């Protein structure tokens, strides 16, 4: 109970996302069960493995590594740079602490080392100056292109060409914004290169640590999800993988108490990350940051998220204490990190495909070709712009205090120095956005302009937000000016702001998707809906001349438009009313003008069958007389009730009328017959308002087969029943392989003939006979069976002595021997049960096709002793027990041949040559026995009594030979190997007079196609010494 109790502490203390106010828990057991269920549900909905989470984090790692490489340009190999990265990584690890304990002295030492290394890095020359010059050159080049386009725009009178040129200007302005942001990054790196590398290395190390911790987790916990979200806040630009995963986490947790827990845990993790960042920048002391991290770890420990602790007897007091700690911690974080912003990043607008901040004004010309007849219809005058700030605690101060000056710096189609054209957007309001450290600004265009500049129609501006702390104000009473604590003066990355004036040409309603436009003649609830969810307003605009129109909010053709956004939602100035087209009988149909819902006015009359209604939509501009009519080609038709019947697993009985469950049927070798239950049959007959006799007279005797021919449904007109027959030995599948019957009897009622559709999808066969075939364990090791050739050994008596002799070695194996009682098993499976036993072999080494011979008819496998090698692989064995094609027992594997190389017995290993004219036998005492211990070869000869014939040949082996142990030894010239097979040698120069001994090393060379020869490899060298004076 301890662990669950502590989880309740989590739920009680952390569920409030705006402020962690403790409210207590009334029923702990219910809360535990309910909230644990939420945890399990959220983990299931998110459905992300640790591997997927690690892959998403890897994209952030790759991005940060690229930034780090840029910052280290030209000096990545410098010792100070490498040592700085290593030391920063050590500090990040140390801040995690061992068992939650942080070594303050170690942190201090590492911090001092980092400060010294940053200075050394700043004094190390790199290549950032070159990058700066390169970026400035590219900015100048893009500016030149934009100026050329502006000149073409001013000189052109072709509206379509002007529109295309303006689009090009927009594309180049985006490129300019990216280049300018990159230039700012390089300038920052030039200003304090050591600090930039330190910051990037710390964020990179934290991401790598998290990736390593989750990549092997099959099911990450909601604590992992919180850490993931917190770490994404340290990444300036989120990849698609990161966005998708973050949306999954936020979406699954939204609105739940566990979701609140994730948000609070995310805050704790974010505070820890901010603490490390502040420490590395020198904005916070070691003591303040390590104490904060310790306190965060303690809170997590008390919440049971690091380890279970004993909360004591008074649970409520413990929970209130935890809540007070969280509130106190939040207050401390605000004081510690609320000053001096470290980063400010524009978050792309999710409602714009390019992520731009977009202002649009909608106009309408009473005379399209006359601009002077334009009337403003609507304007999205205010839009929301979001920024993520670091530290996250500073977001609250920006929103709630008046301590900062916020301005938008910008450039229009040319590169200007910062802050020369500020004030182009007015800030209407500030609020905290969704997510840690997000500031949301509601802005509008500064129509009065700034220094004579405004964001004009169809123009693209690259803007950046500048946040600057106000100077301390002198206290008039004391005459003192407070010391400055906040040195914030930071600028975001550049983003695109686009203003567009749209001259409306026309609109057309696109009705909601309609899958079924039929109304059942007697169904008062049946309806066809043209408006509502899925409907939208397509719009076209005029060009400047008012003669050519083009789509505004869709792609594709006019006939088949694909929505980009809903025009009516963006410009809230339209009213649409749905009506009937002319020719529609208002006595049959009725329509809701607001939703476009069509229903029957007087359901039940068969006379209305076949009647049709045409629907149209009339769209007007609020307060004006202009009107556009959209006539829909999809018409509503009054139809008969669909005669569709779906039969279930419990709709049948057996011959005795007893209920059966088709989902519980076992496999049988015989056919199975069932009958549609009386209640289900009456339900079908009632649909067509016929009596049983008339129904079967019309249907007659018919047979409908299933798609896989495993079952049939038969109408038995004589006995007035439906018969279901499952074929003998049929194995019924599921999913795409399901056994489905579609019966389509034709019946006449209410004056018309109509086909019924009776559908039965058979449940999967519930069970199959127990497995019969079993492996003979003596042969098998896992999925590999090993075959030992059969030796025919007899006892021979000769000269009053009896000994064993091998007369034959058989390399052919009967596969049936691999299984217990194979013949009986085969009879049971195939004869008694009606199944199939498949036993066959396959040799798939196409490079050596003759190495193995297979006869599946006799179930024999022969390893050809003259051509097979163990390196060629094993024989594949298929051993499967099936019933109706269903695999019930699979004992397939591989067949290998045993190592029958036998054992080599060492003979003489040292020979002294004292007579140069003699012939010597090197194989004296050497012998080679088979796996039965019977000698195949002895002292160079296969003429042995243990084998009737050549024992080596009978075992697929070759006789050993004598060779020089070292082919390059010059002493080899003293000896001649006379007969390598017999193992004889002699001295080459018979008249040689030796002053010193000469040593020649010979080897007994033997090998086996079946594997290693026991006792051979380490003992195969014979030392021959030619004695001096011989």
pLDDT of residue 847 exceeding 80: yes
Given pLDDT bands bounded at 50, 70 and 90, which one contains residue 43?
A: low
Place of tokens 């129509």: 447
HEC-encoded secondary structure of 165-233: HHHHHHHHHHHHHHHHHHHHHHHHHHHCHHHHHHHHHHHHHHHHHHHHHHCCCCCCCHHHHHHHHHHHC
Q: In the structure encoding, which two tokens stand for residue 1022, read together? A: 């014979």
Whole-number pLDDT of residue 79: 83
pLDDT in tens, 991-1007: 888 889 999 999 999 99
Q: In this structure, what are the phi and psi dihedrals at residue 918, rounded to the nearest 5 degrees?
A: -85, 160
Task: Tell me the C-alpha distance between 517 and 582, whole Å.
Answer: 18
Q: In the structure encoding, which two tokens stand for residue 291, read together? A: 């104490």
Residue 373 DSSP class: G
Instruction: Work out the average pLDDT over 33-50.
Output: 58
How many residues comprise the chain?
1030
Given pLDDT bands bounded at 50, 70 and 90, which one contains residue 174?
A: confident
Instruction: Work out the average pLDDT over 916-926.
Output: 94
Instruction: Work out the average pLDDT over 442-447.
Output: 80
Whole-number pLDDT of residue 35: 47
Classify strands 784-787 and 893-897 as parallel, antiparallel or unpaired.
parallel
Stronger pLDDT, 854 or 218, i.e. the higher one:
854
- Least trusted range by pLDDT, from 212-216, 502-506, 771-775: 212-216
Instruction: Work out the average pLDDT over 897-923.
Output: 94
Task: Tell me the C-alpha distance between 418 and 408, whole Å.
Answer: 10
- Least trusted range by pLDDT, from 575-579, 600-604, 809-813, 849-853: 600-604
Tell me how far the alpha carbon of residue 971 is from its chain's centroid: 68
Given pLDDT bands bounded at 50, 70 and 90, which one contains residue 836?
A: very high
Given pLDDT bands bounded at 50, 70 and 90, which one contains residue 26?
A: very low
pLDDT of residue 417 exceeding 60: no
Q: In the structure encoding, which two tokens stand for residue 955, read together? A: 């075992």
> Is 831 exposed, middle or buried, given 0-12, 13-18 or 19+ CB atoms closer than 10 A?
exposed
Instruction: Work out the average pLDDT over 669-689.
Output: 92
Q: What is the mean pLDDT of the chain?
A: 83
Which run of H or of E encompasses 409?
strand 404-412
Instruction: Work out the average pLDDT over 885-897.
Output: 95
Instruction: Work out the average pLDDT over 432-436.
Output: 81
- Least trusted range by pLDDT, from 318-332, 729-743, 756-770, 827-841: 318-332
Residue 570 DSSP class: H
Classify strands 528-529 and 597-600 as parallel, antiparallel or unpaired.
antiparallel
pLDDT of residue 793 exceeding 60: yes
pLDDT of residue 866 exceeding 90: yes
pLDDT of residue 416 exceeding 50: no
Whole-number pLDDT of residue 148: 86
Whether domain 903-1026 has CATH 2.60.40 = yes
Given pLDDT bands bounded at 50, 70 and 90, which one contains residue 475?
A: confident
pLDDT of residue 658 exceeding 90: yes
Whole-number pLDDT of residue 237: 67
Instruction: Work out the average pLDDT over 717-734.
Output: 94
pLDDT of residue 726 exceeding 80: yes
pLDDT of residue 253 exceeding 60: no
Task: Tell me the C-alpha distance between 1002 and 1017, whole Å.
Answer: 14
pLDDT of residue 832 exceeding 80: yes
Given pLDDT bands bounded at 50, 70 and 90, which one contains residue 39?
A: low
Whole-number pLDDT of residue 317: 47
How many other C-beta atoms can be found within 10 angstroms of the C-beta atom of residue 650?
A: 14
Instruction: Work out the average pLDDT over 659-664.
Output: 95
pLDDT of residue 900 exceeding 90: yes
Place of tokens 């009107």: 627
Whole-number pLDDT of residue 251: 66
Given pLDDT bands bounded at 50, 70 and 90, which one contains residue 865?
A: very high
Q: In the structure encoding, which two tokens stand for residue 17, read together? A: 């996302």
Which of 194-208, 487-501, 646-660 is modeled with the greatest confidence?
Answer: 646-660
Which run of H or of E encompasses 331?
helix 315-337
Instruction: Work out the average pLDDT over 698-720.
Output: 94
> Is 202 exposed, middle or buried, given 0-12, 13-18 or 19+ CB atoms closer than 10 A?
buried
Whole-number pLDDT of residue 449: 65
Please report, rounded to a whole number, the percentage of residues in the chain having pLDDT higher than 90: 41
Class of CATH domain 511-639: mainly beta
Given pLDDT bands bounded at 50, 70 and 90, which one contains residue 848?
A: very high
pLDDT of residue 863 exceeding 90: yes
pLDDT of residue 422 exceeding 50: no
Whole-number pLDDT of residue 862: 97
Please report, rounded to a whole number, the percentage of residues in the chain having pLDDT higher than 70: 84
Sequence spans of domains, the chain: 1-40+219-225+237-337, 50-212, 343-474+485-500, 511-639, 646-762, 780-897, 903-1026
**343-474+485-500 maps to which CATH number?**
2.60.40
- Least trusted range by pLDDT, from 82-86, 733-737, 1021-1025: 733-737
Q: Decide if 588 contacts 599 (C-beta within 8 A).
A: no
pLDDT of residue 720 exceeding 80: yes
Whole-number pLDDT of residue 731: 93
């Amino acid at each position: 109970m301890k662990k669950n109790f502590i989880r309740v502490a989590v739920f009680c203390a952390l569920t409030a996302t705006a402020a962690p106010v403790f409210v207590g828990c009334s029923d702990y057991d219910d809360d535990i069960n309910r909230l644990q269920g939420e945890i399990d549900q959220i983990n299931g909905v998110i459905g992300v493995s640790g591997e997927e989470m690690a892959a998403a984090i890897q994209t952030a790692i790759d991005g940060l590594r690229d930034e780090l490489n840029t910052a280290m340009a030209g000096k990545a190999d410098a010792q100070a740079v490498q040592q700085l990265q290593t030391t920063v990584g050590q500090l990040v690890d140390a801040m995690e602490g061992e068992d939650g304990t942080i070594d303050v002295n170690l942190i201090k030492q590492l911090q001092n080392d980092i400060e010294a290394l940053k200075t050394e890095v700043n004094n190390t020359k790199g290549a950032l100056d070159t990058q700066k010059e390169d970026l400035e050159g590219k900015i100048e080049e893009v500016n030149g292109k934009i100026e050329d386009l502006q000149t073409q725009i001013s000189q052109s009178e072709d509206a379509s060409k002007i529109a295309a040129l303006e689009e090009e200007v927009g594309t180049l302005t985006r490129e300019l914004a990216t280049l300018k942001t990159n230039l700012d990054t390089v300038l920052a790196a030039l200003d304090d290169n050591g600090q930039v590398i330190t910051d990037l290395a710390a964020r990179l190390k934290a991401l790598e640590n998290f990736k390593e911790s989750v990549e092997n987790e099959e099911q990450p916990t909601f604590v992992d999800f919180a850490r993931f979200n917190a770490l994404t806040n340290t990444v300036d630009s989120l990849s698609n993988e990161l966005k998708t995963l973050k949306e999954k986490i936020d979406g699954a947790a939204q609105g739940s108490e566990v979701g609140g827990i994730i948000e609070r845990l995310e805050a704790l993790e974010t505070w820890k990350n901010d603490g490390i960042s502040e420490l590395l920048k020198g904005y916070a002391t070691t003591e303040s940051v390590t104490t904060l991290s310790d306190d965060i770890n303690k809170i997590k420990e008390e919440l049971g998220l690091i380890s279970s602790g004993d909360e004591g007897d008074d649970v409520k007091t413990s929970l209130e204490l935890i809540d007070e700690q969280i509130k106190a911690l939040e207050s401390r974080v605000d004081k510690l990190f609320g000053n001096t912003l470290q980063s400010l990043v524009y978050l792309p607008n999710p409602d714009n495909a390019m992520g731009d901040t977009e202002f649009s004004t909608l106009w309408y010309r009473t005379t399209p070709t006359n601009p002077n007849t334009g009337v403003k219809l609507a304007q999205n005058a205010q839009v929301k712009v979001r920024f993520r700030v670091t530290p996250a605690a500073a977001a609250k101060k920006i929103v709630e205090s008046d301590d900062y000056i916020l301005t938008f710096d910008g450039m229009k189609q040319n590169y200007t120095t910062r802050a020369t054209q500020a004030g182009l957007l007015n800030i209407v309001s500030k609020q905290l956005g969704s997510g840690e450290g997000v500031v949301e600004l509601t802005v509008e265009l500064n129509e009065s302009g700034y220094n004579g500049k405004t964001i004009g129609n169809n123009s693209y501006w690259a803007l950046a937000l500048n946040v600057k702390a106000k100077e301390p104000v002198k206290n008039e009473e004391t005459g003192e000016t407070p010391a400055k604590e906040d040195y914030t003066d930071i600028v975001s990355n550049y983003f695109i702001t686009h203003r567009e004036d749209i001259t409306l040409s026309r609109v057309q309603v696109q009705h909601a998707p309609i899958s079924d436009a039929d109304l059942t003649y007697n169904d008062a609830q049946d309806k066809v809906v043209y408006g509502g969810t899925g409907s939208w307003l397509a719009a076209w605009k005029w060009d400047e001349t008012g003669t050519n129109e083009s789509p505004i909010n869709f792609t594709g053709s006019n006939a088949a438009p694909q929505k980009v956004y809903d025009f009516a939602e963006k410009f809230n100035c339209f009213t649409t009313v749905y009506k009937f087209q002319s020719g529609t009988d208002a006595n049959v149909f009725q329509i809701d003008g607001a939703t476009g819902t069509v229903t029957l006015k007087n359901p039940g009359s068969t006379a209305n069958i076949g009647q049709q209604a045409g629907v149209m939509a009339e769209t007007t501009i609020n307060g004006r007389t202009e009107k556009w009519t959209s006539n829909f080609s999809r018409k509503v038709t009054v139809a008969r009730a669909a005669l569709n019947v779906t039969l279930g697993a419990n709709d049948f009985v057996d011959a005795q009328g007893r209920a059966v469950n088709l989902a519980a049927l076992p496999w049988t070798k015989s056919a199975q017959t069932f009958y549609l239950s009386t209640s289900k049959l009456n339900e079908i007959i009632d649909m067509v308002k016929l009596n049983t006799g008339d129904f079967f007279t019309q249907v007659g005797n018919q047979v409908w087969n299933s798609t896989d021919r495993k079952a049939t449904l038969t109408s038995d007109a004589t006995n007035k029943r439906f018969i279901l027959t499952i074929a003998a030995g049929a194995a019924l599948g599921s999913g795409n392989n399901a056994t489905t019957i579609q019966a389509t009897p034709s019946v006449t009622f209410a004056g018309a003939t109509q086909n019924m559709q009776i559908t039965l999808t058979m449940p999967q066969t519930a069970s199959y006979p127990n497995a019969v075939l079993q492996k003979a364990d003596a042969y098998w090791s896992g999925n590999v069976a090993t075959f030992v050739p059969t030796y025919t050994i007899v006892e021979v008596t000769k000269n009053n002595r009896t000994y064993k002799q091998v007369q034959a070695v058989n390399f052919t194996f009967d596969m049936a021997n691999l299984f217990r009682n194979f013949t009986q098993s085969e009879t049971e499976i195939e004869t008694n049960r009606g199944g199939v036993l498949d036993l066959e072999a396959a040799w798939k080494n196409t490079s050596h096709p003759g190495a193995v011979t297979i006869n599946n008819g006799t179930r024999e496998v022969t390893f050809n002793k003259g051509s097979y090698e163990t390196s060629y692989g094993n024989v594949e064995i298929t051993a499967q027990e099936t019933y109706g094609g269903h695999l019930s027992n699979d004992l397939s594997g591989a067949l290998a041949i045993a190592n029958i190389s036998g054992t080599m017995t060492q003979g003489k290993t040292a020979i002294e040559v004292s007579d140069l004219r003699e012939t010597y036998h090197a194989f004296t005492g050497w012998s080679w026995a088979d796996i039965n211990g019977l000698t195949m070869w002895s002292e160079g000869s296969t003429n042995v009594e243990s084998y009737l014939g050549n024992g080596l040949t009978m075992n697929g082996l070759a006789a050993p030979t004598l060779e020089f142990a070292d082919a390059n030894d010059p002493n080899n010239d003293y000896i001649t190997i006379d007969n390598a097979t017999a193992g004889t040698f002699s001295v080459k120069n018979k008249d040689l007079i030796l002053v010193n001994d000469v040593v020649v090393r010979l080897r007994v060379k033997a090998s086996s196609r079946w594997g290693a020869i026991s006792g051979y490899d380490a003992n195969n060298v014979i030392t021959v010494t030619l004695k001096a004076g011989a």
